Structure 1
């Protein structure tokens, strides 16, 4: 859908987080502003070297040491699907595929093989994309090997002008591209094909979707593809982007040497810039489909794209950000009331396509409530138009925006290279500004105080206008007779905004906790120096695992859990237990409703979420160091003062029932297929059945609150893990107060083994659903697992070597799939078990042939073990991945919390190099025989006809 396809681009490296009142970020709003000349050009980020070669190629180079010994490389070509002639539709994208199928210096599949052996995964790391206006090749590479880095830069050069385009390889790739085309088919594609010409006003964009036409992909002459490459892959339409841990001068010299030898185009074909024509009328498209599960309304108000060139443009962009934030909060509140007008909705101003921006309003309507959904969306816009935003809303939005910039500024030396490259791609393709975060932060501090309510309120008149307006209504085919006419839809829109009252910004000016907890002291402390971990035991039984790091300057992550969960409750209470934490979160906490809590926390960089799973309960969150105490107060509040809000819960359950009813009335093929997989692997247990409206009727709020209180009544069984920028000594008093003060009964609980296991033996489940000529296959092996790190690494290795081989056979040799995955998972509770899956999509007629190919590869693994080269690739990829993980807060939080949850040795991570050595040809042979055994369930999704 358009709501997903088109979004605004940010002009700086990191998306803003939330700012906070009463902190130094808020205080800076009141500081004397440093004046900026709004007529001055937006300065280009001084940390980026930009240059142009004599042949016209542009380059962007930035030194960035996060992560260490890594770089992000991009080749950007301002050639996408809009440049295709009638005979080339789909060939810009096909060209992208061929870049991986042989170049001058890397024949056939040697390019992918070389990169895999250097620790770069195909698909996950090495990738590319084609859009309407550009094609971008993505290559993350190590920099601690001069040879690998030089060869990687050679790959970029080869892509620019030395792709082989061998006829045999072109013909083989047709099948792969057709399988990608097949994957994109479905209700969304069918409806998009109907509404795109209208909302894009029959422009070139409407006629040149990047995936192209299957008839052309099947039959084009290879020379037609070569012509596209020769015409549009030329240096004046190209940029090289390099961001990473390297010497900038050396990288510039390498770029000049390699890309400088690309000949300058002598008689280049002028690159046309296509536009989407304006229109005075309202384009209304009403489309239905048998596989569309719900009714979606989208209103699009198109206007000329804003090009940010001077600081006044940047100030206007800030005003739009504030507008989007405040309107977004209001619409979010509509879904948190007793009778929400829609299942989901938003309004936002941002980038669109071609030469246009757009203000977009979007809603997923409840069944039979199209008019109400449209009106609710537009009434919020009209409310701003009539009454404006409130001063308190604007103050919160400013504080949030400034806090987000402050966070990005504080993390400027810890920002990953991958966060930067998008800016430079956008600058080359669309002249987007590249703003240094230090400059942007200073600009915000100076500018925000001068942006008044009238500046924001006036934007509605700019955004919402009758001309250049488009409306898309998508609905299930079964509801066609109930849908309004085009004239009625326009009438709904034009009639919106009547009988409105001003928005009431209700807030609570109270502390989260009515009184401070009674602290519980630390009774024991253990240090694990080898991994920099400190373990504390508090008087109430709470265990706390602390790992201070310097990986991020403004981040602390935490989680806490204990055993129990919904497993302890019998089936009549299952749904109440399953939704207990969700219903409590909907209620807010203490005296704060969910909406009031959001306003109270505005500007604070934190989040805290309670949860109850099948085997346990817990709480997870994050906070900036300066907001950690507030996060801990919220954590304590969720434990001790959960809040029930019957009206909000009733609205939530009403929405969920409506959504589920729509899904059941028009189930998508993938939904039916995945439900079949879940039910079968759950051995048809009642707790593994798809959720239905009747299940929601079994939820009792009082019982859910009671269950929640039971699960969080005793903190003594909880283990909390904290990772991030903190000092153990300084954090200790906070932990003693807010964790040590939690209630504890001394009871010891465990989960209950419900006995849910996948069926044993051989089983085949075939689902027939859908009209598109496509199939999905999932092969699932299951069994008991001997819980050791040695076995875990063998499962990981088996998955990787099998996936490498399946990509070679099913994609490269047989051209039967676009992608294929092999994955292994294992868990210790309730009993140690493993699940090994092989997934792919294909043409229905190829299902059995490709399953047979998978089985042959598995049989070869069982007989011979893995190819030694594939094992080396697995080891290289895993080693490179672990190097980055060891300097990542999220990894350590997950690792440590899992080790303590499973009762495993926290020092296990130090054994990774040793464990990798245990993977050999013989070990993969043994693993294949052990884990790809007789417990196999084969799932196949086929079309109905």
Structure 2
């Protein structure tokens, strides 16, 4: 029956869901922005909403990005906070069971059916359970009527037709226990102690979604059935559909399928739990042997701000401005030669239950620096309280906020459905406003300038209070005796703001480039028509590759790449080379330090950063079309005007050294394990050793600057790439000026093959670290590779079919893992090599059994090849992925960069279908024999022996 069912679905004719014969209706009229701020916030007119007689709410929005796709959600306004004492963890368990059998999709047929349709389990098909809600997400193609309607059948089944087979429940216990096991560690142990304090022993403090181990192991099926009956009911549900479809047809489908769910006649009251305030400041100081760094949080809770009226919307703009300005100030503190913290911030936002919170976080370099770190963060709050922000700060913050909203407005017809659907989920769950970007943009333009500096400054007195406050200090166990006492912490907090001076807003009123570059014209042009690419060669020898697209209205992505990288430097200069781009970027550029540069660029949509990796160096960036001239000016400056700032670098290295020292003194089990993996695969080459504090002592800023200049001063061997919303004729003068104006000699370097290869033969590495009863397994195969598209696809196919089988065997049959991954990677440079990794977490006592099961599956692939049904899933997923990628700027920038770097055929992406057709059971059998070879390393992490 399963095979027949799938073949029927696959055999149905693809039909677009748009009703082509019906004239398109005009877009819903945009409500005018009212001057009466007491009016309610209007809801997006492009969304059709309704409520069925049984109480179910629905939202439908047509959106054509991406084409032939839809995002579906089933939202249940019920989560772990509603569990009884006998149900702890069963809200989450219920979510799992939705994938383990429904009326129309027995056992695991639901996942299999969707995989065959190109929907990946985990990456696409997924769900989550929180305190107050459970949300199921289902992205589906819309170019098949049959498939699209079946997707709504899945949602309906989740709503009231989950079978809850006792056999499947027992199998899923082990899976959830493995998920619970993965979450164990220092963070979990400390969270279990501080949650009752910060949540004031409310219902939330005792209802973590993962639940209790003994209940997960032992609950009776009827207890889970009762949760499903009580809370999965239409008056607590919403169905949300956003995508490329006909609204009327989706409306009919929802009414037909969800209208037949019976209303609950005597529903159990859905209690709205709250977190009661407390008049004092609660302090908790926690240590753990596996906590690597000290972290201090100060949380001031206050009643949640609901956005219901236009005035509430205006108030939200004020909070955004406040957070942005305070964040910029705190970031500036890190630019000192001896910064008081490694990381710190303060921000106002949502919290939990009925609360918002103003939260300040400080990460000191070590436990002896707690007082200095938290005082420095809180002093910035107090500085605002005492002196306020400045007019110039507010002006920049307004520019940046308006620019961000304007960008969203310009992209309104290119916004992905996955972005929109989340707004309607939150509207249903908590009434979060969703006006639509067109209305919101007009609202911001109309109201932003009217927000005054005194208004924003006044917020700080609302946010900072000495009541309903909690302080959490988390630190390594080894530093327990170095930590301040509760009384000392309270004194730090209560006595901040002493001897403060007003903030001085330092800016530079100069151009980025003192002298305009001398342009270099395009001397030759080459068209690669089949992929819409143009290649220019400039007079100075630099090559520029352009792909204009209409995938985004306001986005241009660009990169530059040149071979060389850190491979050209010996071990004595390795750290200088590795950190050169980071250290020089922190210095700013030209006459602008990093802080001044940030202020200069405020309100502009652009990002640029240089990098130096092992085999190459380059720059990556993005800009809106209007800000591309500034972006290219900055790019030119990074090439020609590197700037060193000794104080900033000293502070950065000091922070990094302190954090590293703490991590090495109290390494987490996963860090020790991953370091072992990487060092072993690097054959103990010193370049693959984990970074040590003494490595940072080798860094010399002058040498780093010299290396940066060596990598970027001569641009002749760089290739530049531009993808996005531009016209070649209009962008040409800019490229000729700023890239053509780069110094370019005749240097044409390549990287150096350092000879780093994974060791050959069979190796087993066991790491004993950690106190929790959990293990981590990685199985790695490596070897030489023949670089062809066909071979790359065979590796991809082998990884996918193996992962499908591993999930079936290790998770569904053995209940031994929560997740398992199988991935293949391959590279052309510095040598043609491949690496195949299989990884999972499990109970220590199950390691040998699960490894043996994995090796049995690999042996089966070697003998018989892949199941044709799994190959079909791989092909469907690959084709669906490519459909989306071909309409994505990020994909094209990466693709073009890699194809040029590797010297590969630029039209390779157009031949995917014929390459995929070469994947067969026989080809996967041959691939398994070749890639799962004798070069095999088994890594296992066990807890420490007692």
TM value normalised by structure 2: 0.96
What is the rounded CA distance, in whole Å, between the counterparts of 1:892 and 1:943 in structure 2?
44
What is the rounded CA distance, in whole Å, between the counterparts of 1:630 and 1:688 in structure 2?
38
Name the structure 2 match of 1:689: 689
1:755-774: CA deviation from partner (whole Å, max 9, x where unpaired): 00000010011110000000
* Within-5 A mapping of 1:395-474: 395-474=395-474
What is the rounded CA distance, in whole Å, between the counterparts of 1:724 and 1:919 in structure 2?
33
What is the rounded CA distance, in whole Å, between the counterparts of 2:57 and 2:262 in structure 1?
14
Name the structure 1 match of 2:39: 40
* Within-5 A mapping of 1:543-692: 543-692=543-692
Report SS of the residue matched to 1:458: helix
What is the rounded CA distance, in whole Å, between the counterparts of 2:858 and 2:541 in structure 1?
49
Report SS of the residue matched to 2:342: strand
Report SS of the residue matched to 1:547: strand
4+ residue segments displaced more than 6 Å = none
CA contact (8 A) 1:35 1:446 kept: no
What is the rounded CA distance, in whole Å, between the counterparts of 1:895 and 1:361 in structure 2?
41
Q: Is the aligned partner of 1:775 residue 2:775? A: yes
Name the structure 1 match of 2:531: 531
Name the structure 2 match of 1:158: 157
Name the structure 2 match of 1:917: 917
What is the rounded CA distance, in whole Å, between the counterparts of 2:706 and 2:295 in structure 1?
37
What is the rounded CA distance, in whole Å, between the counterparts of 1:677 and 1:560 in structure 2?
32
TM superposition shift of 1:373 = 1.0
Q: Is the aligned partner of 1:179 residue 2:178? A: yes
Name the structure 2 match of 1:240: 239
TM superposition shift of 1:34 = 7.5
CA contact (8 A) 2:88 2:207 kept: yes
1:64-92: CA deviation from partner (whole Å, max 9, x where unpaired): 00000000000000110000000000000
What is the rounded CA distance, in whole Å, between the counterparts of 2:748 and 2:39 in structure 1?
67
Q: Larger deviation: 536-545 or 493-502?
A: 536-545
Name the structure 2 match of 1:884: 884
Name the structure 2 match of 1:253: 252
What is the rounded CA distance, in whole Å, between the counterparts of 1:636 and 1:692 in structure 2?
34
Name the structure 2 match of 1:853: 853
1:208-264: CA deviation from partner (whole Å, max 9, x where unpaired): 000000110000001100010011100000000000000001001000000000000
Q: Is the aligned partner of 1:218 residue 2:217? A: yes
* Within-5 A mapping of 1:714-863: 714-863=714-863
CA contact (8 A) 1:774 1:842 kept: yes
What is the rounded CA distance, in whole Å, between the counterparts of 1:144 and 1:849 in structure 2?
43
TM superposition shift of 1:315 = 0.5
TM superposition shift of 1:524 = 0.8
What is the rounded CA distance, in whole Å, between the counterparts of 1:198 and 1:489 in structure 2?
16
Q: Is the aligned partner of 1:130 residue 2:129? A: yes
CA contact (8 A) 2:561 2:616 kept: yes
Report SS of the residue matched to 2:351: strand
What is the rounded CA distance, in whole Å, between the counterparts of 1:544 and 1:940 in structure 2?
47
Name the structure 2 match of 1:900: 900
* Within-5 A mapping of 1:13-24: none
Name the structure 2 match of 1:84: 83
What is the rounded CA distance, in whole Å, between the counterparts of 2:119 and 2:696 in structure 1?
46
1:487-521: CA deviation from partner (whole Å, max 9, x where unpaired): 11111000000000000110001111001111111
1:716-757: CA deviation from partner (whole Å, max 9, x where unpaired): 101111100001111111111111111112022111111000
TM superposition shift of 1:449 = 1.2
What is the rounded CA distance, in whole Å, between the counterparts of 2:331 and 2:418 in structure 1?
31
Name the structure 2 match of 1:10: none
CA contact (8 A) 2:33 2:439 kept: no
1:25-80: CA deviation from partner (whole Å, max 9, x where unpaired): xxxxxxxx976211111001111111000000000100000000000000000110
What is the rounded CA distance, in whole Å, between the counterparts of 1:35 and 1:396 in structure 2?
26
What is the rounded CA distance, in whole Å, between the counterparts of 1:849 and 1:346 in structure 2?
47
Name the structure 1 match of 2:501: 501
Name the structure 2 match of 1:55: 54
1:526-550: CA deviation from partner (whole Å, max 9, x where unpaired): 0011110000011111111100000
What is the rounded CA distance, in whole Å, between the counterparts of 2:328 and 2:46 in structure 1?
35
What is the rounded CA distance, in whole Å, between the counterparts of 1:53 and 1:73 in structure 2?
18
CA contact (8 A) 1:408 1:437 kept: yes
RMSD between superposed Cα atoms in Å: 0.8
CA contact (8 A) 1:36 1:443 kept: no
Name the structure 1 match of 2:228: 229
CA contact (8 A) 1:120 1:141 kept: yes
What is the rounded CA distance, in whole Å, between the counterparts of 2:315 and 2:807 in structure 1?
49
CA contact (8 A) 1:817 1:840 kept: yes
* Within-5 A mapping of 1:378-397: 378-397=378-397
CA contact (8 A) 1:792 1:826 kept: yes
What is the rounded CA distance, in whole Å, between the counterparts of 1:702 and 1:427 in structure 2?
54
CA contact (8 A) 2:549 2:726 kept: yes
What is the rounded CA distance, in whole Å, between the counterparts of 1:387 and 1:35 in structure 2?
34
Report SS of the residue matched to 1:272: coil
Name the structure 2 match of 1:93: 92
CA contact (8 A) 1:49 1:61 kept: yes
Name the structure 2 match of 1:104: 103
1:869-904: CA deviation from partner (whole Å, max 9, x where unpaired): 000000000101100100000000000110000000
Report SS of the residue matched to 1:643: coil
TM superposition shift of 1:339 = 1.2
Report SS of the residue matched to 1:715: coil
Report SS of the residue matched to 1:933: coil
What is the rounded CA distance, in whole Å, between the counterparts of 1:762 and 1:154 in structure 2?
49
What is the rounded CA distance, in whole Å, between the counterparts of 1:936 and 1:344 in structure 2?
41
Report SS of the residue matched to 2:480: helix
Q: Larger deviation: 129-138 or 740-749?
A: 740-749
Name the structure 2 match of 1:199: 198
What is the rounded CA distance, in whole Å, between the counterparts of 1:741 and 1:614 in structure 2?
27
What is the rounded CA distance, in whole Å, between the counterparts of 2:794 and 2:161 in structure 1?
39
What is the rounded CA distance, in whole Å, between the counterparts of 1:638 and 1:335 in structure 2?
22
Name the structure 2 match of 1:9: none
Name the structure 2 match of 1:68: 67
What is the rounded CA distance, in whole Å, between the counterparts of 2:265 and 2:715 in structure 1?
74
* Count of equivalent residues: 913
CA contact (8 A) 2:335 2:647 kept: no
CA contact (8 A) 1:284 1:470 kept: yes
CA contact (8 A) 1:580 1:707 kept: yes
TM value normalised by structure 1: 0.96
CA contact (8 A) 2:782 2:835 kept: yes
CA contact (8 A) 1:584 1:642 kept: yes
Q: Larger deviation: 655-664 or 431-440?
A: 431-440
Q: Which has the higher contact order (CA 8 A, sep 6+)?
A: 1
TM superposition shift of 1:482 = 1.0
TM superposition shift of 1:450 = 1.0
